[in-house]
Structure 1
Amino acid sequence: MDSDEIMPGPASNLDEDLDEKYPNRPHNHAPTLPFHELYLKLFDNLSQIKKKPAVSAPARRKAGPNAGHASSNPFELRHDVISRFISRWRKEVGDDIYPAFRLILPDKDRDRPMYGMKEKVIGKMLVKIMKINKESEDGYNLLNWKLPGQSAATRMAGDFAGRCHDVLSKRPMRTEPGDMSIEEVNDKLDKLSAASKEEEQTHIMAEFYRRMNPDELTWLIRMILRQMKVGATERTFFNVWHPDAESLYSISSSLRRVCWELHDPNIRLEAEDRGIGLMQCFQPQLAQFQMHSFDKMILRMRPTEDDPVFWIEEKMDGERLQLHMAPDESIQGGRRFAFWSRKAKEYTYLYGKGIYDENGALTRHLKDAFVDGVQSVILDGEMITWDPEQDAMVPFGTLKTAALAEQRNPFSNGPRPLFRIFDILHLNGRDLTKYTLRDRRNALQKTIRPIHRRFEILPYEEATTAAEIETCLRRVVAQASEGLVLKNPRAQYRLNERHDDWMKVKPEYMTEFGESLDVVVIGGYYGQGHRGGNLASFLCGLRVDDNHSSQGGNPEKFWSFCKVGGGFTAADYQEVRHHTDGKWQKWDPKKPPTHFIELAGGDAQYEKPDMWIKPSESIVLCVKASSISVSDEFRMGLTLRFPRFKKVRKDKNWKTSLSVQEFLDLKSNVEKEQREKEFQVDNSRKQKRVKRAVKKPLNIAGYDDREIVQYAGPSGHIFDELNFFIMTDASAPEKRSKGELEQLVKANGGKVFQTNTAASDTICIADRRTVKVASLQKHGDINLIKPAWVLDCVKQNEKDAGISDYLLPFEPRHMFFTMEDRDDEIKVNVDRFSDSYARDTNVDELKEILNNMAKDEQTNHTLDSRTSQRIENLIQNKINAGYTAPCGWLFRRFTFFFFANDASTEENDSSFNTDDMRLQLARNTARFGGANIATSLKSSDVTHVIINPEILSSEDVASLRESLAARPGTKLPYLVSVAWVEESWTNGTLLDEERFNVPR
């Protein structure tokens, strides 16, 4: 007897396994229908319904009884088309409709792997199969399918399948429908998804080309791309197939189960089959989109007088995952794990199937993560990347890399996966989805033993008002988080549904970032679908100013910075086209326009556009964003998260757009202000609604109508007949908001304007370098005064009550920027130790003056104060002009305290005795770089505390943090690694301290 008759083949084994897993699965009594029946009897008919306008009821009545009985409701028409196809299948083929459904709904078929083929790969294959010249019109249209083509192809730009149909129709192998059956197509697609080489895939595609006409092949390409758009959703197909089909798909994510277990529409799911199950991927609950106001969002969660509470959770920037754990004695450790994403993609291979799985980036750390008695569990949460060195979350996009690194070295100190759990849905055989969120969270707390920075429960805050949402949002955005999720603690878990019980609040809806970002369009990308054939998103750049351009560089040069495609209306696109029509040029990778535009990646040309435009011929767009993130894809090295178009800046050109340095300054200022600003929902780009006329309160330019600033301080006539332009808030000697400063000036007789040109002799007030401040400083024709002068004037006149009001003369400490010809007259108002002749000195200033005296005696007055100040101004002007700072200038104005491994007393003597050679070298470097070295951590002027984290223990670091946090009335200094000093010195510039934060 032949061995083949004894040993069953792979297909037989598969069928036996499926019969065992699905004992009641249906079997067809006849071969499947021809493949072309799908588009002739189903897809084409559904597409025609989408194109037909609905007939109104009066029109049907007017047509009379002889007009026929067919429904004109599009929903009913779609239902009838699908129902006829299913009825025909049952009659001619059988009850197993799975072969057809996996082609009709390819994006719901989780049993067939992804093909690894996108439009570009398929286009190259078709060019090769049909032997088309790449330089010909058809070759160009296939390989550049987003770009407008000639003739009929122009109308299908952005529609790859339509572009393919146009090319295939000119050179078909057959014009009549082919003879391939649905079953045969499925077999070929299985082989196509399993093929690992492009040659194998090309061979299979060539067979499809030989045996299908252009219509069939076009629909096949849509199936491969999983972009069907047949005019009916999966919900419609499910509802026609079986009343419980959608519910079963929600709890299983299995199209196969929907087709096989629900083949009889008269047999309904039992109650015990309607819940989620272990090792069975379900469709999770999703958060509803944000509404126009926080108050409306709260009302939608149905609070009651007895229970008005809602929960606020952080919305993390990671990947939504569900974790299943079930007992399994066949695996070492007795527990089996499985992980699935929101779209039912399995990640068990990445995070581990067992506690002792060597490839488990997470599970190998979960031996003690569950309390005794927990046998099975399903958890819902977010997998994020955590950097232990920074003790902070890493932005989205690095998760898989971190997981693979963790597999290779599970105990490294590099970025690692961290699973944060926010829900429990199954516990020891019991489905918890019908319990309230409050009950589920109680069960979660009693089930999990958190593993620090590996496996944690996401905390939440209870709230009852909209103001609490704003407070939380401000905090999480300051921590570079994605936003918030509001949850109703009284609600059940709703599978595969967006509901008001969960509502997200994301920062891209907020007006938090900066003043305005005016960027220049330097490139364009063609869109898809209804945007096909037109530039739908734009590459925007920042002007390379003198500080960043090489010697002899082109002043019209721009660095790539961000892509903007959201927020445009049809009118906005029309306006962009109006201003740029005829000025676009095709991007040639072999001859990039580096004289005007510089991309990231060098020859790799990251984010290269389809078209480019000279900056001098382009337009300026005003955009907003939620935050800034690091990115290697753009030449700037930074980019915007969720950028949104606001408007075209017709009043600006490339010369007045945002420069690299101005953006860096703006970024620095925004980071300082994030904890002080309030948020408001920005509805400027939302669809406008007709509202009743309501009398609005009068708004004064420069004031926020959300904040009423009340000043209860002294009032008088100090600033009578003086005009002020206040550009920033005050950070020293005390914090005052911009509104408070304006009220203070008005209370003392001054006038406030929102521009320095509104009145003559305007006094400009600034305490940090914003875009407006930098612009005035660049012109150099006006002094910029710190808010400290305003505060000093008010305080001095308060002390001298009864004496006629008088203004204090300007002192060097009052000047943010001083014109060169005014420098000497300002310095004569203080002595050589900076003691004021006209103002009372407080205790802190007196200490500083005495300290200056001691330093002056030690140096024998080598340089008097005027000479020193002149040198400082000279060097600062050179730096502003783009010159490199001298070595001894890098750490000027900073005061460092070097915390040695034996510095538990928080004091270091002048000899700085320590065995840490690295810290000693850094201290010497800092002194050479102009830093002041503090001998006590108690000193109020310490700006940086420098430590060597390799020497100090975590307990020492924690103790040091507590000491810093307890400092009364002073700004917290940075706690940074010694590497900050070393790398800043090596790079010749001050690096961002946040990158060198010492982990907790």
Structure 2
Amino acid sequence: MSSTKFHVMCSLFNWMQKSKSSAKKRSKFRKFIDNFCKPSDYFSAIRLILPSLDRERGSYGLKESVLATCLIDALGISRESSDAIRLINWRKGGAKTGASAGNFSQVAAEVLQLRQGTTSGELTIKELNDMLDRLASSENRAEKTSVLSELIQKTNAQEMKWIVMIILKDLKLGTSEKSIFHEFHPDAEDLFNVTCDLKLVCEKLSDRSQRHKRQDIEVGKPVRPQLALRVSNAAGAWKKLHGKEVVVECKFDGDRIQIHKNGEDIHFFSRCILDGEMLVWDTSTNRFAEFGSNQEIDVAFDILYVGDTSVIHQSLKERHELIRKVVKPIKGRLEILVPNGSTNVQRPSGEPCWSRIAYSVDDVERFFKEIIDNRDEGIVLKDLASKWEPSDRSIKWLKLKPEYIRAGSDLDVLIIGGYYGSGRRGGEVAQFLVGLAERPTTNSYPRRFISFCRVGTGLSDEELDAVVTKLKPYFRSIILSINSDIRTIRSEVFSAPYSLRFPRIDRVRYDKPWHECLDVQYFVNLPPTQSLDSLHRLVAENGGTSSMNLNNTVTHCIAAESKAVTYLCKKAGIIRECEIIDLCGRYFLHLSEQSKKLLEEEIDEYSDSYFLDLDIVDLKQLLNNVDRLEDSKSVDYYKKKYCPKDKWSCFTGCCIYFHLSTQSLRNPVSKALLELARRRLKLEVSMGGGKVCSSLSQATHLVIQSLLFVDVGIAGPLNSFSTTDVHHICNNKMHVVGSQWLEDSIESSQRLSEDTYSIKLEGLEDLNVGEW
């Protein structure tokens, strides 16, 4: 391999790229390995064929835009030259671009061919690897440019094209890494899955005829994670796991991580491997937050290695028990996700349970709804009897996310820009920049639009071409109806305050004019749980049409809350009664004069319909609409006047404040008995038309509770009140009576005179309340 020229490998790449047969591609690769590589050189070749799996070499730090600039400097051409502009705008098509648009390596090869020619260079595979190591270790752009300049001198344009693709770690050979591994050695993929070490695979499996005993995982060597299979609905997921014991977990929106622990850095376990998710913890609210703020937290949902033993061959249920025993959670730093443990126990008030056992499809659907209502990413269903398999994606783990079912509400947005694509869409608009309208003044169309998100998926090539054709030549605006994951994200790239996760085009709205697109205020105040599709259908079924911004065609605005208008309706029609739309007027926040005149023919001043029947909810709402009389004395007068029985109105106008005497507080038994008596007396006062208050400032009567035959002076109770309360008692001539007054009044079914039961005010001058 030390003398094998790189152009030999380029011939292999060219042949594999052109061939359509997977079997022939594998066969050609095998012949190359057998004929041009010695066992000691396998890694040098494989790392160039599978560059994305090479962990020995660090990152190059070169994507297309930076690589284009470095190539321009390496060639020594002006950045204003046509070739330089072509490299920088490699996605963009044009008269000189042809089929190369969107293919950076091909554009680079065409630019280089004018300066390098077609004669094969003398660069060997070993020399290439050495130079790529230098490129990866270069600390600045000047050093990287120097290495690229040297590579250009030792290669031709076609060889340089493949070097560029190796640097970008995407050869586009039309064959999978699985096929390459299998052709190299039957056990290559399994070994790589548990070590992620391409060099180790090449060294240990140099003899294809000798099978390798399956290697277990080790602390310090990253393992390819087990993956979840996508399902479209809860019923389908449950059917796949039918008859199995199932745990459902929240699918957190974080970065998948493995924690390899070897040593005493964490005192409560020595050697282990945890599988989990890295999230952000908001220390101020004690809950998970978006990336970019507060501190990181690791949530471990599986354990793969304990002590000196791999546990991936144990069931998930057994591994859950192990993680409970081995890992001690640290709040805000490390949590474990198991049923009835850690994150579930410590979750903030109002947060859903994040892991539980499911016994039916209803349990799954209920859990999914709770998780989505909490605006988390989705759920994962796991077979509790399953073993942990690296890189496995099967029915052992199933994931269900809202975008797999039906995304959030369809939103009508306006195309305001486009992005050129790459690959087969190179040189053509493949994605759109869409915007929201700023709400216009009354009776006018929107005049300004702000960027909202970037969207390109959802349309076939034919549909996409049709949209682009209609936009040409002046890029006339078209409305797209898009949906997405139900959650919004704060936008740092676009002008709108929020953007969408994973937006997707649902359909092209050729039927809607540009000025009826969604406006910013509408989107910001959009109810998170309300389906706009259902409201659209409801309006259409009853003869109406709808718009997503306020323009001069709008006659009705439907709001989620009184603070913000969030839905607009053009014609009233006859719309079925519901929480959002109600012809009886009970939910109207504002009415135009025209609407008022129409409603006056249908309802009275309290929104009571002349024609529709009422239920209990309607009746309560109507009574709440009636203005209450402000004069409490008049209310009490009419209550007493029209009360059918005297005992039900004997305490009308009375507001009672209860107070325990000082002597009673000293005896626990006496205090308990008086508390029971107080509860009974409170009910009797209420039944008699009176009120019980918790503040002396509202009271008309101060009732002193004490043991029978105990004489109570006013000084004792008054000493337990504040000076302000004592002043209120004296200045307002409040009735201060014993509880016997209530007892006797209740017995006689009439309010007795307070004078007989009044507690004397001797010694009041000694309480120092006379001067203010």
Question: Does TM-score exceed 0.5, indicating one fold?
Answer: yes
Do residues 210 (structure 1) and 3 (structure 2) align? no
- Structure 1 residue 510, shift from structure 2 partner: 3.0
Structural mapping, 1:857-872, within 5 Å: none
Deviation at 1:647, TM superposition (A): 0.8
- The change in CA–CA distance for 1:554 and 1:135 in structure 2 (over 3 A counts) is farther
**Residues 89 and 562 of structure 1, relative CA distance in 2, 3 Å threshold:** same
Distance 2:114 2:695 in 1: 84
* Paired AA for residue 383 in structure 1: M
Does the C-alpha gap of structure 1 residues 846 and 214 become closer, same or farther in structure 2, counting only changes over 3 Å? closer
| 2: CA distance, partners of 1:556 / 1:44 | 53
Which of residues 819, 825, 841 is equivalent to 2:592?
Answer: 819
Quick one: distance in 2 between partners of 1:764 and 1:87?
77
Aligned to 2:202: 259
Question: Counterpart of 1:625?
Answer: 484
2-structure distance, mates of 1:128, 1:437 = 55
2:523 aligned to which of 663, 667, 670: 663
Structure 1 residue 154 and structure 2 residue 98: aligned? yes
Which residue, 437, 460, 476 being the options, matches 1:569? 460
2:121 to 166, 178, 201: 178
Shift of 1:542: 0.8
2:436 corresponds, among 539, 542, 549, to 542
| Deviations 1:405-425, CA, capped at 9 Å, x for gaps | xxxxxxxxxx11111111111
Match for 1:439 among 318, 323, 328? Answer: 318
Measure, in 1, the Cα distance between the counterparts of 2:601 and 2:284.
Answer: 46
What SS does the aligned partner of 1:191 have?
helix
Query: Is 1:98 paired with 2:69?
Result: no
1:316 aligns with 2:252: yes
Residues 96 and 260 in structure 1, CA contact (< 8 A), matched pair in contact too: no
**Aligned partner (choices 497, 518, 529) of residue 423 of structure 2:** 529
Q: Contact between 2:559 and 2:565, CA under 8 Å: does it hold in 1?
A: no
Instruction: Indicate the SS of the match to 2:261.
Output: strand
Q: Does 1:138 align with 2:79?
A: no
> What amino acid sits opposite 2:568 in the alignment?
S
AA aligned opposite 1:530: R
| Structure 2 CA distance for partners of 1:470 and 1:168, relative to 1, 3 Å | same
Mapping of residues 157-306 of structure 1, within 5 Å: 157-172=101-116, 175-271=118-214, 274-291=215-232, 293-301=233-241, 303-304=242-243
2:507 matched residue in structure 1: 647
- Cα distance in 2, alignment partners of residues 635 and 907 from structure 1: 53
Cα distance in 1 for residues equivalent to 2:565 and 2:544: 10
TM-score after normalising by structure 2: 0.71
Per the alignment, do residues 381 and 189 of structure 1 end up closer, same or farther by CA in structure 2, a change over 3 Å counting?
Answer: same
Q: 2:333 aligns with which of 435, 451, 454?
A: 454
1:118-138 deviations in Å (ceiling 9; x for gaps)? 111121122222233434432
Q: Is contact 2:557-2:565 (8 Å) kept?
A: no
Whether the aligned pair in 2 keeps the contact of 1:290 and 1:503 (CA below 8 Å) is yes
- 1:581-620 equivalence runs, <5 A: 581-583=472-474, 613=475, 617-620=476-479
Matched to 1:46, the amino acid is M
Gaps of 5+ in 2: 339-354, 547-554, 635-692, 699-772
Is the Cα–Cα contact under 8 Å of residues 456 and 504 in structure 2 kept in the other structure? yes
Q: CA offset at residue 843 of structure 1?
A: 8.1
- Superposition RMSD in Å: 4.0
Contact 2:226 2:389 in 1 (8 A): yes
Cα deviation for residue 788 of structure 1 reads 8.2
Alignment partners' CA distance in 1, 2:326 and 2:272: 9
CA drift at 1:849: 6.5
CA distance in 1, matches of 2:431, 2:569: 34
In 2: Cα distance, 1:828 partner to 1:189 partner: 81
Q: Does the CA-based 8 Å contact 2:305-2:311 persist in structure 1?
A: yes
The offset of 1:116, in angstroms, is 0.7
Question: Cα offset for 1:852?
Answer: 5.6
Q: Which has the larger radius of gyration?
A: 2
Which residue number corresponds to residue 345 of structure 2? Answer: none
1:638 Cα deviation after fit: 0.6
| Partner residue of 2:34 out of 80, 87, 96 | 87
Give the match's secondary structure for 1:236. helix
- Unaligned ranges ≥5, structure 1: 1-29, 51-73, 328-334, 336-353, 356-366, 403-414, 584-612, 678-700, 705-724, 728-751, 792-808, 858-905, 912-1000
1:383 aligns with 2:278: yes
| CA deviation string 1:73-96 (max 9, x = no partner) | x33322321111111234xx4533
**Structure 1 residue aligned with 2:364:** 469
Which residue pairs with 1:594 in the alignment? Answer: none
Instruction: Give the distance between the partners of 1:378 and 1:572, measured in 2 at CA.
Output: 48
State the AA in 2 paired with 1:475: E
CA distance in 1, matches of 2:249, 2:633: 56
AA in 2 matched with 1:561:
F
- From 570, 579, 585, the counterpart of 2:470: 579
Aligned: 1:635 with 2:635: no
Alignment-mate amino acid for residue 16 of structure 2:
L
**SS of the residue aligned with 2:76?**
coil
The 1-side partners of 2:336 and 2:436 are apart by 42
- Contact 1:702-1:754 at 8 Å conserved across structures: no
- CA distance in 2 between counterparts of 1:533 and 1:663 reads 33
| AA in 1 matched with 2:182 | N
Question: Relative to 1, partners in 2 of residues 1:787 and 1:518: Cα closer, same or farther, differing over 3 Å?
Answer: closer
Q: Cα distance, 1:822 vs. partner?
A: 6.3
Tell me the secondary structure at the aligned position of residue 283 of structure 1.
coil
- Aligned to 1:129, the other structure's residue is in SS state helix
Q: SS of the residue aligned with 1:421?
A: strand
Alignment correspondent of 1:61: none
Shift in Å at residue 909 of structure 1?
10
Give the structure 2 partner of residue 503 of structure 1: 398
Mapped partners of 2:490, 2:697: distance in 1: 40
Question: CA–CA distance in 2 between the matches of 1:844 and 1:83?
Answer: 80
The residue type equivalent to 2:478 in the other structure is: I
Alpha-carbon distance in structure 2 between the residues aligned to 1:907 and 1:387:
40
**Match for 2:542: what amino acid?**
Q
Identify if the C-alpha distance between structure 1 residues 828 and 229 changes in structure 2 by more than 3 Å, giving closer, same or farther.
closer
Q: CA deviation at 1:530?
A: 1.6
Aligned amino acid, residue 23 of structure 2: E
Distance 2:439 2:624 in 1: 42
Residues 243-265 of structure 1: CA deviation (Å, up to 9, x unaligned): 21111100000111011122222
Separation in 1, partners of 2:176, 2:203:
20
Deviation for aligned residue 1:499? 1.2
Partner of residue 424 from structure 1, selected from 290, 300, 303: 303
Distance in 2 (alpha carbons) for counterparts of 1:35 and 1:213: 11
Task: Specify the SS of the correspondent of 2:40.
Answer: coil
Change (3 A) 1:471 1:195: same
Q: 1:431 corresponds to which letter in structure 2?
A: S
Shift of 1:171: 1.4
Residues 477-497 of structure 1 show CA distances to partners (whole Å, capped at 9, x for unaligned) of 222211111111121111112
Structure 1 residue 278: Cα displacement: 0.8
The answer (yes or no) to whether the contact 1:766–1:786 under 8 Å persists in 2 is: no
Is the CA contact (8 Å cut-off) linking 2:5 and 2:125 kept in structure 1? Answer: yes
Provide Cα deviations, 1:31-51, integer angstroms capped at 9, x if missing partner.
Answer: 3412222112x212212323x
Q: CA 1:182–1:626 in structure 2 vs 1: closer, same or farther (change >3 Å)?
A: same
Deviations 1:930-954 (A, max 9, x none): xxxxxxxxxxxxxxxxxxxxxxxxx
**Structure 1 residues 526, 176: closer, same or farther in 2, change over 3 A?**
same
- Write the distance in 1 (CA, Å) between the matches of 2:437 and 2:208: 65
Residues 631-670 of structure 1, C-alpha deviations (whole Å, 9 max, x = no match): 12111111111111111101112111112223234x1x23
Deviation at 1:702, TM superposition (A): 7.1
Distance 2:202 2:362 in 1: 49
Q: Which amino acid aligns with 1:222?
A: M
Number of residue pairs the alignment of both structures matches: 609
